Structure 1
Amino acid sequence: MTTVTVLGSGVMGTAMAFPLAENGHEVRLVGTHLDREIIDSVKKSGLHPNLDLGVPEGVRAYQLEEAEAAFEGAEIALVGVNSFGVRWAGERLAELLRPGMDVLAVTKGLEATEGGDLRILPDVMRERVPEELRESVSWSAIVGPAIAGEVAVGHETCVVFTGEEAEVLDRLAGIFRTESYHVWTSTDFVGCEVCAAVKNCYAFGAGFMDGLLDREGKTENRYRRFNYGSALFAQATRELAGWMELLGGRSDTPYGLPGVGDMLVTSLGGRNVRAGRFVGSGVPFSEVREKKMKGVTLEGVAAIEVIGGALPKLTERGEVGAGDFPLMRHLHEVVAEDAPVAMPWGTFFGGESSR
């Protein structure tokens, strides 16, 4: 039996308790300062209010003030916070980790330096941990198409555990793998994490398809603009490959679970797609953020602001061409400048021939 402490009791962090419990491992669920009602509910009734499911029997819940007790003797720290909490999580881990532990993150996103360099979030997280402790634990992440509720109810799910140490990944995979939760491993840490972050951006664009139908009053029309959506998906896939070339990931990573697999499931629905649908219908993004979806966490939009915002600096330095990543550039215009959706089709797929 392995003891796993989950930092962050949101839907994904909690969902991971289900395969772990199925395999007979001990799970301790620690809420952040934003999760107090969730932890209270789990403690009182065993119900996770956002999943609307009872957590597995034996899973123990802890408020943040009880985190030290929850980490006592734990072998794995599973980080379940979103991208906005990654620095906070790193600071908490600096206080709670012990040498020899394995850190496994489900957080997805990238961070940009002032110069425009893009960094994966596990690197941002671990730099908050003192160097000696940082080097005495392993750092890995989970990527791939995994809707939390489907993991929790045991629907077939295929993911990738990624990190720099193959032996660690194999060991972790064996702890989590069940008959319905299937785990592959990859040491392409950068490539997998970049795909996990960038696909959220393109999922925002996937919402434009239905938004345009809403604008035309043709949402129930049999002709659904699937051609439009498919072309965006294809261009997004091409750009995923471009990010691999630029940031040092492996060329095949975008075409598996971390890339197109995860991008497909994210594009089917969720908060990012909903926000994109509003914009596609003609609502300026600033109004979407401030009124239509006020208070809603939009990690895809945050990623567009970071990644799309880095592109001008990377272009100025000559690391990317002015015509590279046209879809990401347009998504950034929509988010940062309130530009209307006006897809630059002629720039896609290397440029449309004028002949």
Structure 2
Amino acid sequence: MATIVMLGAGIMATALSFPASENGHDVRLVGTFLDREIVDSIQNTGVHPDLDLKVNDGVTAFQLEDAEKAFEGADLVMSGVNSFGVEWIGEQLATLMKPGQKFLCITKGMRAAEDGTLQLLPDTIRSYMTPELAESISWNAITGPSIAGELAVHHDTAVVFCGHDKDDLEWIADLFRTDYYHVWTSTDFVGHETGAATKNIYAFAAGFAEGLLKSQGKADNRYVMYNYGAALFAQGQKELRSFVTLMGGRPESADGLGGVGDMFVTSMGGRNVKAGTLVGQGIPFSEVRDQHMKGVTLEGVAAIKVIGKALGPLTERGVIKPEEYPLCRFLYSVVEEDAPLEIPWDKFFHDLT
């Protein structure tokens, strides 16, 4: 039996507790300062209020002030906080983790330096640790199409655990593998994590077609805009693959679960797609952000702001060409400048012959 500690008691961290606990492992959910009501609910009723499901036996919830107790004897540590809290996660884990532990990252996204250099979030977390501690930890991550609620109710879910050491990956994967949670492993850590970070960008664009139909009063029309959506999806996949290559990953990783698979499921719905739908209806993004979806966490928009902003400096430095990433550049203008929804079709698929 292994001891697994998840920092963050959100829906994805808790969903992952189901296969792990069903395999007989000791799972400890440590809430952040935002998770107090969730932890209270689990401690008092056993129910996660957002999932509306009872957690399994073998899963214990801890408030943040009890984190040190929860981390005692941990074999595997996981981060279950979204990209907005990655610096906080780094600060916490720098004091809570011990040499030789294995780490599995759920958090997706990137940070960028002033010169446009992009950094994966596990590397951001790592930067808060001493070099000695960071070098002793096995760094791994989960990528692929995984909706928390579906996983929690045992719908078939296929993912990739990526890292640097094949033996460590297989050991971690075996903690979670069940007849419904299907785990592959890959040592292309950079490629898969880049795909996981950039797919959120294009989920925002997935809402445009529905919004346009609504604005035209054609939402129930027989002829919808699948052609439009498919073209945006295809260009998004091209750019995702290019980002993987830019970051030093294997391009083919973009074509599997950690790339196009994850991009597909993220484009099916959720908060980012809803924001894109409102923009498609002709509402400026600043109004969407400040009125229609005020206070809502938008991972896709956050990715657009970080990565889209980095494209300018990267172009100026000659790292990328001006004609590369036209959809990402356009989406950046939508969220930063309230640019109208005029898709730059002629800039897409520029390498076709």
> Normalised by the shorter chain, which TM-score bucket?
over 0.9
Query: Does structure 1 conserve the Cα–Cα contact (< 8 Å) formed by 2:24 and 2:58?
Result: no
CA distance, structure 2, for counterparts of residue 95 and residue 199 of structure 1 = 32
* Structure 2 partner of 1:209: 209
The residue matched to 1:265 in structure 2 has which SS? helix
Q: Please tell me the residue identity of whatever aligns with 2:268.
A: L
| SS of equivalent to 1:174 | helix
In 1: Cα distance, 2:142 partner to 2:23 partner = 18
2:244 and 2:199 map into 1 onto residues whose CA distance is 13
Residue 176 of structure 1 pairs with residue 169 of structure 2: no
CA distance in 1, matches of 2:351, 2:331: 18
Q: Is the 8 A contact 2:209 2:280 kept in 1?
A: yes
* Whole-angstrom CA distance in 2 between matches of 1:83 and 1:291: 22
- Name the aligned partner's letter for residue 185 of structure 1: T
Pairing of 1:104-183 with structure 2 (within 5 A): 104-183=104-183
Map 1:54-93 → 2, pairs under 5 A: 54-93=54-93
Counterpart code for 1:241: R
- 349 and 63 in structure 1: CA distance in 2 versus 1, 3 angstrom threshold: same
Tell me the residue number matched to 1:293: 293
5 Å-filtered alignment, 1:222-237, equals 222-237=222-237
Contact 2:327 2:344 in 1 (8 A): yes
5 Å-filtered alignment, 1:33-44, equals 33-44=33-44
- Does the 8 Å contact 2:114/2:313 carry over to 1? no
Alpha-carbon separation, structure 1, partners of 2:136 and 2:239:
36
Query: Normalization by structure 2: what TM-score?
Result: 0.98
Backbone CA RMSD of aligned residues: 1.0
Task: Tell me the CA shift for residue 210 of structure 1.
Answer: 0.3
Q: In the alignment, is the contact (CA less than 8 A) between 1:2 and 1:25 conserved in 2?
A: yes
Do the aligned residues in 1 keep the contact of 2:158 with 2:257 (CA within 8 Å)?
yes
Q: Percent identity?
A: 59
- 3-state secondary structure, aligned to 2:290: helix
**Conserved 8 A contact 2:195-2:241:** no
Gaps of 5+ in 2: none
Q: Cα deviation per residue 1:277-302 (whole Å; 9 max; x = unaligned)?
A: 00011010001110100010001100
CA distance in 1, matches of 2:56, 2:351: 52
SS of the equivalent of 2:307 reads helix
Residue 164 of structure 1 deviates from its aligned partner by 1.1
Match of 2:282 in 1: 282
The separation in 2 between residues aligned to 1:351 and 1:103, in whole angstroms, is 39
Number of equivalenced pairs: 353
Cα distance in 2, alignment partners of residues 129 and 71 from structure 1: 17
Q: Distance in 2 between matches of 1:127 and 1:312?
A: 25
Equivalence for 2:238:
238
Return the alpha-carbon distance in structure 1 between the equivalents of residues 241 and 300 of structure 2.
Answer: 18
Cα distance in 2 for residues equivalent to 1:241 and 1:300: 17
Which residue identity is paired with 1:129? M
SS of 2:349's equivalent? Answer: helix
Q: Structure 2 CA distance, aligned partners of 1:104 and 1:152?
A: 18
Would you say the 8 A contact 1:346–1:352 is kept in 2?
A: no
